[in-house]
Amino acid sequence: MRPTLILGGTTEASRLAAAMAARGSPALFSYAGRVEAPRPQPLPTRIGGFGGAEGLARFLREEGIGRVVDATHPFAARISRNAAQVCAQAGIPLLSFERPPWRPAPGDDWTEVPDLPAAAQALRELPPERIFLAIGRQNLELFAQAPQHDYLLRLVDPPEAPPPLPRAGIVIARGPFTPEGDLELLRRQRITKILAKNAGGSGAEAKLIAARRLGLPVLLVARPEAPERPRVAGVEEAMDWIHADLGV
Ligand code: 3Y8
Ligand code: NAP
């Protein structure tokens, strides 16, 4: 069986890696190298970009990859585009393993915005608030246009430079998070609004559950368009797909 490449960086990717390792199916795991110490995986792991689509195509060829599972985050749009393009050209089967978007539940006070620039624009027009900007480290510069707010940032690693925001508190923490922990954080920081990406899944959901309990408004950023390709939302379905064409 030729090895499967898992494009990782999410809770789902880690679950799939564990299932592949338990079954003894040949697989490689890939991280972008975004954080200092990504979670170790029970599979041979490569860390860092491939070098664009052509770098990915070369990697697939040189490693004799039989199929690719794109288990990256729904906001990781570039790697997903590259994988779709390269796998189509190389005739290598590609599966997207992604969690469905979160849907509002009774008691949620969500305002959906199409993308991060629209979210920054929405904050620009508001009187000063205490905002939990729970989008990680990338794209913070967009919010310099709304400097009137007190921001709380949650980053995986300490930032090399101060964030481009005049008033920002920083918590260094790596998910998955818990509703109790996030409830405590929101209370302690006297947060009045949360900005989050519609990541889906359980690892980032804690802050939304805590917001529901506190009746806090949430500005939720819709995920970018994903390329057309087969998709599953569960480990078992992904494992069936990987082993289907092998009759094993
Ligand atoms: C490097 C590798 C696992 C995966 C765990 C999931 C859950 C916990 C919640 C908040 C939101 C955020 C952020 C978040 C979560 C999981 C998952 C998820 C959100 C690690 C990891 C890598 C990254 C990259 C990092 C981004 C950042 C985003 C923080 C590992 C820990 C905000 C996304 O400093 C940076 O440059 C960080 C960049 C991309 C978004 C951003 O734009 O800043 N994730 N996160 C991956 C790589 O190198 O390829 O150590 O596990 C993984 C996880 N982070 O195996 O259990 O499945 O989503 N990650 C968001 O959802 O909004 C935090 O604070 O409430
Ligand atoms: P992105 O914008 O789609 O990708 C940017 C570049 O990073 C890609 O072109 C590729 O570089 C490299 N890359 C991304 N994911 C990779 C992977 N798994 N293996 C090897 N190279 C990868 O991605 P991103 O939003 O920066 O996310 C980076 C990683 O963090 C992904 O693994 C993603 O799953 C994880 N993550 C992202 C978010 C988020 O909010 N964006 C949240 C949680 C986890 P080359 O072009 O050089 O190949």
pTM of the shown model: 0.96
Convert the pLDDT of each residue in 67-102 to its tens digit: 999 999 999 999 999 999 999 999 999 999 999 999
pLDDT-derived band at 246 (thresholds 50, 70, 90) equals low
Ligand 1 contacts (CB < 6 A) are 9-11, 14, 31-35, 38-39, 73, 134-138, 154-157, 174-177, 197, 199, 201, 203-204, 207
pLDDT at 153: 98
Domains of the chain, each with CATH number or no CATH = 4-99+225-243 (3.40.50.720), 109-221 (3.40.50.720)
pLDDT at 203: 86
Going from the Cα of 10 to the center of ligand 1, the distance in angstroms, rounded, reads 7
Going from the Cα of 32 to the center of ligand 2, the distance in angstroms, rounded, reads 5
Report the first-to-last Cα separation within the chain, whole angstroms.
10
Convert the pLDDT of each residue in 155-197 to its tens digit: 999 999 999 999 999 999 999 999 999 999 999 999 999 999 9
Task: Give 117-142 as a 3 state SS string.
Answer: HHHHHHHHCCCCCEEEECCCCCCHHH
Question: Cα dist. 239→13, 91, 165 in Å?
Answer: 12, 20, 44
Convert the pLDDT of each residue in 124-148 to its tens digit: 999 999 999 999 999 999 999 999 9
Q: Is 201 close to ligand 2, i.e. is its CB under 6 Å away?
A: no
Convert the pLDDT of each residue in 13-37 to its tens digit: 999 999 999 999 999 999 999 999 9
In order, the DSSP letters of 154-215 are EESS--SS--S-SSEEEEE--S---HHHHHHHHHHTT--EEEEE---SSTTTHHHHHHHHHT
User: What 8-state DSSP symbol labels residue 144?
Assistant: G
The percent of residues above 70 in pLDDT, for the chain, comes to 98
